[in-house]
Chain A
């Protein structure tokens, strides 16, 4: 018989400007939890999206249940028994739980010559499925009424409903509380006992070592290897993931924090579920990290400071002067810059050139007669910054969307540097970019701080947070739960603060 339920052989996949997967292989045994690890941008999610039919792989072979298969799309994957619980859930909030589970494959009944949806059967089945994942809900209620963890359970119920043989879970615990994580592990154990294999993607070492049977590691789009979980330790995993000594993961920082330049006082969101009464200080030349779990409202807080979101209270005092920031351009005028979290949604202008992407925030400074753009001066500014950031591009007319994620990020950093801000707020500055570009961005951050700029950096990666910050502010459930100096910071004390109010 076959040892493996699923074999992925020599999978390659390229995106414009970046090879995301280079001959990656993965073998999954039936009835096991198989952890897939690697840094952000290592290609884990891409590999899984190829398996689940979201992406088409360029080359490679998938053997599922002993048969070579060609997975056309997600529906095909589901029919074959491959299900995925997404990193970013994509539920239809306005429809019922039952409809979310059976969307696209509703049970039908004949009504004379036509087929209609068999609602009674759908609700009945849903009720059964929900019991399996220990949810006690009426299948008719809107999905939007559930919490994130409950929605996740619904996704798992969906996987169960297709009799999936392989369930992919992409960072399922990133937005769960400890209790909820325990609940999830119970469900996983249950699935395992039924012979279902789980491919489990996570960054959390303890979790991985606790629940997985085997661990495969990827790095920069390549396959590093597979080990029994019992043979691994956290340090071993990290060194295999990073592939080099940990000591030079971050550049040397020579910045010296000076006097307080920015005071943020009593920020409270207009949304009662968001941040409440947040106050902190920022020093000249300081790198202040902001840590916390997904959903801790860190992004919401910094966006409110920058004027993107609405508040009921809050003051920003810059060098003793109270700033009136109602919208982003007020913040920009006062020398504040914000690198947003979601590059694609709020950062890049995809179809526009690098020049336009860099110049957009500084046009006011390059006007003749207060009206006509001085394109020559503007272009030299762009050139300077493209060089400073060492952005890899054929020329400045290139559309930004053809660049790799790391280069896109550098273009947006260049946009802000062109404006010469004193305070830079960076929201997940290295998300989804490759290791090399990460290091370059760390270097830029360190140099800026050394030059006396003040930096606020949100990061969900603890090593990055600890390696780059002078001071770490931790948020939990919309509140600031504490500050840790970087020399005293450990994964444990940060996580403790991050779950303080849960």
Chain B
């Protein structure tokens, strides 16, 4: 009798685990199915492709994660990625390119441009943080406003024209690498490690989780909630800048529409990866899983030759289901 009872409990636990990770499990099954039935999926080049696609998205998702963990959000992510990409491209156009934006600009060191891009995006992030902390505008609306502002600025700056003719050394960043590891992949891993360190080994991380867990309690416990939130949104901006810089290098050019909708993908990836929309919960490794799952889903659908229009529908459903599962985990039954 006793053993039977124990077994039920185990089954219950397994079912619970499967329910809570339904999306990851489902997608793992899809990936297995695709890799068995479709040629070319289970190959080095495809995996490399996936890794390169995942890398910038992981950076963006890490940026958004701080906002999500503190019960906020950042809808300006995609547009800031776009601004970063355009800014980097305009400053790194080849001097022989006829349509060069800044005709008399000398060849700047790539690192200097990277710093400029990251700084500009960080400033916009900081602005998000200031509006949220000091004007008490809900993050959803503050960053929605910033999304539109940044798009407008980008349109003015780029004159709505695509930017091409990038320098070869800039384009080489995305194509280069060490052995089978492309630079983008390596950068994403390094940034991931830095974030893991920040989230787990510093006051910044502890304060961030505390604010997400209970902002009032954090304030009363002596946490500088305002300063912490400013740092979170500025750091997010930094990540968008870096991602934009890398994406332009990868694409060999940029336009104002680069990064469109990336914030939603990043938020979805975070949620799939266990960042709770109710705040205070989320791990760097989980976010990686989330981004991977989302990217694998898109690739699998391509291999299954599902029409791109339908792919949007599936992605939307996945996002809603992911949040529903998350909420189910945290709503306590009365």
Contacts and interface: CB of A to CB of B under 8 A. Distances in A.
Interface of A: 16, 54-56, 306, 308, 327-329, 332-333, 338, 340, 345-352, 356, 359-361, 363-364, 367, 371-373, 375, 415
A296 B101 CA distance: 68
B334 A329 contact: no
29 contacts: A16-B332, A55-B334, A56-B334, A306-B220, A308-B219, A327-B219, A328-B220, A329-B223, A332-B221, A333-B222, A338-B220, A340-B217, A345-B214, A346-B217, A347-B220, A348-B217, A349-B280, A350-B213, A352-B209, A352-B213, A356-B206, A356-B213, A360-B207, A360-B223, A361-B221, A361-B222, A372-B202, A373-B202, A373-B203
B276 interface: yes
A501 B109 CA distance: 75
B134 interface: no
Nearest to B279: A351
Interface string B273-287: 000101111000000
Contacts of B178: none
B210 A356 contact: yes
A444 to B, nearest CB: 19
A359 B330 CA distance: 24
Given A340-B220, A349-B214, A351-B276, A364 B203 contact: yes
B224 interface: yes
A362 B332 CA distance: 30
A359 B219 CA distance: 14
Contact of B330 (A340, A351, A361, A375): A351
Contacts, number: 82
Contacts of A56: 334
B214 A350 contact: yes
Q: Which of A308, A345, A363 has the most CB of B within 10 A?
A: A363
B218 interface: yes
B222 A328 contact: yes
A361 B334 CA distance: 31
A450 to B, nearest CB: 26
Contacts of A346: 214, 216-217, 220
Interface of B: 201-203, 206-207, 209-210, 212-214, 216-224, 276, 278-281, 330, 332, 334
A306 B210 CA distance: 20
Given A350-B214, A359-B206, A375-B201, A308 B220 contact: yes
A349 B206 contact: no
B22 to A, nearest CB: 21
A373 B216 contact: no
Q: Which of B207, B217, B224, B279 has the most CB of A within 10 A?
A: B217
A328 B217 CA distance: 10
B210 A349 contact: yes
Contacts of B216: 345-346
A415 B202 contact: no
Given A56-B334, A328-B222, A346-B216, A373 B206 contact: yes
A352 B334 contact: no
